[in-house]
A and B are shown apart, each in its own frame.
Chain A
Amino acid sequence: MARIDVRKTYKLYIGGAFPRSESGYSYEVTDNKGKFVANASLASRKDVRDAVVAARKAFGPWSSRTAYNRGQILYRIAEVMEDRRPQFEEAVRQSEGGSAALARGQVDAAVDRLVWYAGWADKLAQVIGNANPVAGPFFNHTAPEPTGVVGVLAPQESSLLGLVSVVAPVIVTGNTAVVVSSYARPLPAVTFSEVLATSDVPGGVVNILTGDAAALGPWLAAHMDVNAIDLCGVAGSPELATSLEVAAADNLKRVRRAPAAEPDWALDPGLSPMTAFVEQKTVWHPIGI
């Protein structure tokens, strides 16, 4: 008798758990040739709400960990991803098409990118912070602090490298993230959430919703308990991006604006993905106390 496959249910990742969408909806995910692959949960605005609550709850403990510890945890994510490379290669090739070698390159780059950001965890403050010379008997220094809960609309094209390249810089500095994955290519993001769940990342630090950035973006952008938003996922839709920026202005969210087109993720990202979501705190300190 032929064995029946045990198929995976692709679910959301909220607060360290894998719930189905609150709405009960799911949608069909196809490979790049249009062939059915799986059903993914279609996140609703209430999943956004739940994810923000989870991210807010996780923010205090995560941001008060030492930078060194956060770096170690990011490095741990890279270790666990490395272990599951064949699975990621398969998922990336299925959703993005192209050769196996191309997919392997994407996965390698994603793991390397995590290691790169892990290294920055306890070095960013030295580079962008400062001891400021002032004309008075004071010691004055500036240091970066995490912004809070960051909404991330992940890139639509690059399903793994792009995702890692927008999530890692947000959490490495102590923020927590609510991520809306690529709509057409969500499966690598779901597998990535399984990696997060098994690599010492506290529940709620990263929450991954599979669904439509155009539908969920406005709720995330208008949410008064979200402190910043990365609009990368609506690159190429300037009108939508503008309306999200307007909604984000209500509580003075920091906005990382949508690029005109998705960037080449293989390039050196520079520091701006991290510096977009930190705030500089300057402290005046009387000398000698």
Chain B
Amino acid sequence: MPTTAPTDPAPGLTAYSEVTASEASLRRFLHGLPGVDQVGAEARAAGLGTRSIKTTAKAWALDLAIRMVDLTTLEGQDTPGKVRALASKALRPDPADPSCPSVAAVCVYGDLVGEVKAIVGDQVNVAAVATAFPSGRASMAVKLADTRDAVAGGADEIDMVIDRGAFLAGHYLQVFEEIVATREACVRPDGSHAHLKVIFETGELQTYDNVRRASWLAMLAGADFIKTSTGKVQPAATLPVTLVMLEAVRDFREATGVQIGVKPAGGIRTAKDAIKYLVMVNEVAGDDWLDPDWFRFGASTLLNDLLMQRTKMTTGRYSGPDYFTLD
């Protein structure tokens, strides 16, 4: 994954500088985006969910899904020991099978970044949630300090939340500037920057139109990834919401040449669900996104089900939760 900030904005992106120049032009642009056909999006997502993925394709998809997992623990009860155990699991998800790949990243609260880093080193990324996760209710100074802390602690990726209150009130420029400022806070002293994932909390955005607007807003502000949810609000990630976001990154690359990643998080618990998402990534955004650099799953229980299915593929018999760690 490239970790240096591009020195110049992509040429396609400069065409949008006027859009983000003022509250009025930004609003005009976001409300000018074509509306999402809700019934159509849900039917398309449901239709893609019926594809049958078997044998070698399934084995490939399971391994890819494992490599895409952001193994997450975001509980008040997280202890250093629990986080270290999770980090070890991220390195070697299935100790019984050395051919099992590592996951993409471990996602924790900012104060636990060091614990994870001590275990995984550079082999697995460390993601930290920041900006007053999960509600995003704090002053800008606090949010930026939160971000700088995590970056200084060694986080490779920052998962920020947007201010949903401001977004729903129509203060788009405020949200835009918060993302820009957070992105600046992600820059390390050596000029490289931590990857920025922007969480919309789609369960609070009410409509698919809002999801599309938030996606464009975040991408224009310089997000590296757009992420559905914190996992603390129901509904979390759903197939139709992810479909809308995948369409947004696809259209954004066509318009600007800049590729942005997508991360559904929360509520994805079974290997079957994960494969549905992969089918959708391939059909909607294209196979450029079928890579841990461009698509992630924010999940904790999903990994065990992926491992059980993987074990089923290699041993030919159904596995059980007794043979995998509880976390």
A and B: bona fide binding partners: yes
Binding site for B on A (CB under 8 A): 48-49, 52, 56, 219, 222-226, 247, 250-251
Total number of residue pairs linking A and B with CB closer than 8 Å: 28
Interface size class on chain B is under 10
B322 within 8 A of A: yes
- Complex: A222 Cα to B319 Cα, angstroms: 9
Q: Which residue from chain B places its CB closest to the CB of A45 in the assembled complex?
A: B318
Q: Which residue from chain A places its CB closest to the CB of B321 in the assembled complex?
A: A225
List 26 interface pairs A-B (beta carbons < 8 Å), by A numbering. Answer: A48-B318, A49-B318, A52-B318, A56-B321, A219-B317, A219-B318, A222-B316, A222-B317, A222-B318, A223-B317, A223-B318, A223-B320, A224-B317, A224-B318, A224-B319, A224-B320, A224-B322, A224-B323, A225-B318, A225-B319, A225-B320, A225-B321, A225-B322, A226-B320, A250-B317, A251-B320
Q: Which positions 10-56 of chain B face chain A at CB distance < 8 Å?
A: none
Chain A residues within 8 Å of B319, by CB: 224-225
- Tell me, rounded to whole Å, the shortest Cβ–Cβ distance linking A5 to chain B: 34
Chain B residues within 8 Å of A219, by CB: 317-318
> How would residues 215 to 256 of chain B score, 1 for a CB under 8 Å from any chain A CB and 0 otherwise?
000000000000000000000000000000000000000000
Binding site for A on B (CB under 8 A): 316-323
- Complex: A226 Cα to B322 Cα, angstroms: 10
The 7 closest A-B pairs by CB, nearest first: A225-B320, A222-B317, A224-B320, A223-B318, A224-B319, A49-B318, A224-B323
Chain B residues within 8 Å of A224, by CB: 317-320, 322-323
Chain A residues within 8 Å of B320, by CB: 56, 223-226, 251
Additional pairs, 4, CB under 8 Å, beyond known A224-B317, A225-B322: A56-B321, A219-B317, A224-B318, A224-B322
- Complex: A250 Cα to B318 Cα, angstroms: 12
Q: Which residue from chain A places its CB closest to the CB of B320 in the assembled complex?
A: A225
Chain B: interface secondary structure?
Answer: loop
- Complex: A29 Cα to B50 Cα, angstroms: 31
Chain A: interface secondary structure?
Answer: helix
- Complex: A250 Cα to B311 Cα, angstroms: 14
Chain B residues within 8 Å of A56, by CB: 320-321
- Complex: A250 Cα to B317 Cα, angstroms: 10
Q: Which of A48, A49, A56, A225 is packed against the most chain B CB atoms within 10 Å?
A: A225
- Complex: A219 Cα to B320 Cα, angstroms: 13
Chain B residues within 8 Å of A49, by CB: 318
Q: Which residue from chain A places its CB closest to the CB of B311 in the assembled complex?
A: A224
- Complex: A14 Cα to B322 Cα, angstroms: 22
- Tell me, rounded to whole Å, the shortest Cβ–Cβ distance linking A34 to chain B: 36
Chain A residues within 8 Å of B322, by CB: 224-225
- Tell me, rounded to whole Å, the shortest Cβ–Cβ distance linking B272 to chain A: 11
- Tell me, rounded to whole Å, the shortest Cβ–Cβ distance linking A122 to chain B: 29
Chain B residues within 8 Å of A52, by CB: 318
Chain A residues within 8 Å of B321, by CB: 56, 225
- Tell me, rounded to whole Å, the shortest Cβ–Cβ distance linking A40 to chain B: 24
- Complex: A180 Cα to B318 Cα, angstroms: 17
- Complex: A219 Cα to B317 Cα, angstroms: 7
- Tell me, rounded to whole Å, the shortest Cβ–Cβ distance linking A64 to chain B: 18
- Tell me, rounded to whole Å, the shortest Cβ–Cβ distance linking B204 to chain A: 31
- Complex: A224 Cα to B320 Cα, angstroms: 5
Chain B residues within 8 Å of A226, by CB: 320
Chain B residues within 8 Å of A251, by CB: 320
Chain A residues within 8 Å of B316, by CB: 222
- Tell me, rounded to whole Å, the shortest Cβ–Cβ distance linking B318 to chain A: 4
- Tell me, rounded to whole Å, the shortest Cβ–Cβ distance linking A44 to chain B: 13
- Complex: A276 Cα to B322 Cα, angstroms: 22
- Complex: A219 Cα to B318 Cα, angstroms: 8
- Tell me, rounded to whole Å, the shortest Cβ–Cβ distance linking A55 to chain B: 11
- Complex: A247 Cα to B318 Cα, angstroms: 12
Q: Which residue from chain B places its CB closest to the CB of A52 in the assembled complex?
A: B318
- Tell me, rounded to whole Å, the shortest Cβ–Cβ distance linking A50 to chain B: 11
Q: Which residue from chain B places its CB closest to the CB of A223 in the assembled complex?
A: B318
Chain B residues within 8 Å of A223, by CB: 317-318, 320
- Tell me, rounded to whole Å, the shortest Cβ–Cβ distance linking A180 to chain B: 15
- Complex: A64 Cα to B143 Cα, angstroms: 47
- Tell me, rounded to whole Å, the shortest Cβ–Cβ distance linking B291 to chain A: 31
Q: Which residue from chain A places its CB closest to the CB of B319 in the assembled complex?
A: A224
- Complex: A224 Cα to B315 Cα, angstroms: 11
Q: Which residue from chain B places its CB closest to the CB of A149 in the assembled complex?
A: B320
- Complex: A226 Cα to B319 Cα, angstroms: 9
- Tell me, rounded to whole Å, the shortest Cβ–Cβ distance linking A58 to chain B: 15
Q: Which of B316, B317, B321 is packed against the most chain A CB atoms within 10 Å?
A: B317
Q: Which residue from chain A places its CB closest to the CB of B318 in the assembled complex?
A: A223
- Complex: A247 Cα to B317 Cα, angstroms: 10
Q: Which of A224, A247, A250 is packed against the most chain B CB atoms within 10 Å?
A: A224
- Complex: A223 Cα to B311 Cα, angstroms: 12
Q: Which residue from chain A places its CB closest to the CB of B316 in the assembled complex?
A: A222
Q: Which residue from chain B places its CB closest to the CB of A222 in the assembled complex?
A: B317
- Complex: A224 Cα to B318 Cα, angstroms: 6
Q: Which residue from chain A places its CB closest to the CB of B323 in the assembled complex?
A: A224
- Complex: A235 Cα to B96 Cα, angstroms: 36
- Tell me, rounded to whole Å, the shortest Cβ–Cβ distance linking B120 to chain A: 29
